[in-house]
Structure 1
Amino acid sequence: MAVAQGVESAADEQGEEVTLFVARRVDPGHEESFESWAAGILGAAADHPGNLGTGLLRPAAAGDPWHLLLHFRDAEAFRAWQASPARAACFARVDGHHVEVARRELHGMEGWFATTPTGARRTPPARWKMAVASTVAIAPLTLTANLLLTPHLAGLPVVLRTLLLAPLISTLMTYLALPAVTRLLRRWLFPA
């Protein structure tokens, strides 16, 4: 089993977030042991300095690959994870019943779009398209928050108000609005 090395890119200079998106094909009957291994490597990555989150996407159909997502603060944190003893220890426990079939290193907003079912199978859209789609997703959330929540929070200092609204809007953006907009605009974002 070859372990891919980190790749330097233009994002190194920009300090952009890095999302590693790895597809692994699992031999039939070994899904449970793979899930255990995946939980181990994702847990180790989550404990690594600079990690912003991990995820496991199960296959859409039998025989399709599983997808692991590892999200890092920047290219430096990503490279440190790639070279870490914790990562090496996880790969030392690979049982030979799953193999990497694809790997993509995504920078900035590309990682958000890769976590949708359509985005997982395609090249990320152009950055300007991602900006348009993100605006379409976040505008209704911001407007709704300003109309419904801000009047009730008007007595709070602006910093505290922002600290209350930001995680709410971010969560709704990640789990509700962006997946819906990506589905709605999929043909425009990911042309055939």
Structure 2
Amino acid sequence: MSTSDTRRRGRLEEPVTAVYSWRAKPGRIGEFAEWARGVTAEAARFPGNLAATVVHNEDSRDFHVVHQFATRRDLHTWLDSPERQRWLAQARTLAATKTAQQHRTGLETWFHVPSEAAATMKPPPRWKMWLISLVSVYPLVLGFQAWVVPLTASWPLPLRAALFPLVLLTTMTYVVMPAVTRLLRPWL
């Protein structure tokens, strides 16, 4: 679905992040790790896929498979695909259990760190998300304005304007917010 199609429907869809938590069978952790890498690689080939990754601590049997798609429709295209069904059939032989499933949109995805208790946890209050976002984004904006803007002053305005959210949102989503949410998790 194009952006103009979405706008015509009266709202702009937000990206959606789906987290599926699994516990590998004893003695099958290596095989499950291979499975997790394979399923994320498969999901990455689907239209609208923004990211696919695996979160796993070496001393644990728990795996968190994270998929981020541009829209819910894109996510459901992946979820309902025959390719995913084949991967799920294989997972059933390697996993002791599927421990949780979550779908999140908007700022909630920045403040979510998968854990065993995450299935029952609510997102933090909006004021906390706002405050942490503000404090986290300010140094990035300051650095961008100091170092990048002068280098791109001769670029056309649409290109300069596109660079700012691309750099800022990518850095916030994949670098800053995962670290900040881990650090401030007890407060959140």
TM-score bracket for this pair, using the shorter chain length:
0.7 to 0.9
1:18 aligned to 2, 16, 19, which one? 16
Q: Any idea what SS the aligned residue of 2:100 has?
A: strand
- Measured after TM superposition, the shift of residue 95 of structure 1 is 5.2
Matching residue of 2:7: none
State the percentage of identical aligned residues.
34
Distance 2:175 2:58 in 1: 20
Q: Which runs of 5+ in 2 are unaligned?
A: 1-10
Q: Is the 8 A contact 2:113 2:181 kept in 1?
A: no
1:30 aligned to 28, 31, 37, which one? 28
- Measured after TM superposition, the shift of residue 28 of structure 1 is 2.6
Distance 1:82 1:180, change over 3 A: closer
Q: Is the 8 A contact 1:17 1:75 kept in 2?
A: yes
Distance 2:33 2:81 in 1: 21
Please give the residue correspondences for 1:80-159 in structure 2 after superposition, counting only pairs within 5 Å: 80-94=77-91, 96-98=93-95, 99-115=97-113, 122-159=121-158
Distance 1:60 1:111, change over 3 A: farther
Distance 2:165 2:182 in 1: 24
Distance 1:124 1:153, change over 3 A: same
TM-score computed with the length of structure 1 as normaliser: 0.77
Q: Which runs of 5+ in 1 are unaligned?
A: 1-12
Q: Any idea what SS the aligned residue of 1:96 has?
A: helix
Distance 2:54 2:158 in 1: 34
Matching residue of 2:39: 41
Amino acid at match of 1:171: T
Q: Residue by residue, what CA displacement relative to the aligned partner does 1:76-128 show, whole Å, maximum 9, x if unpaired?
A: 12222221111112122235231211111112222222247799684322334
Please give the residue correspondences for 1:4-15 in structure 2 after superposition, counting only pairs within 5 Å: 15=13
TM-score computed with the length of structure 2 as normaliser: 0.79
Distance 1:66 1:97, change over 3 A: same
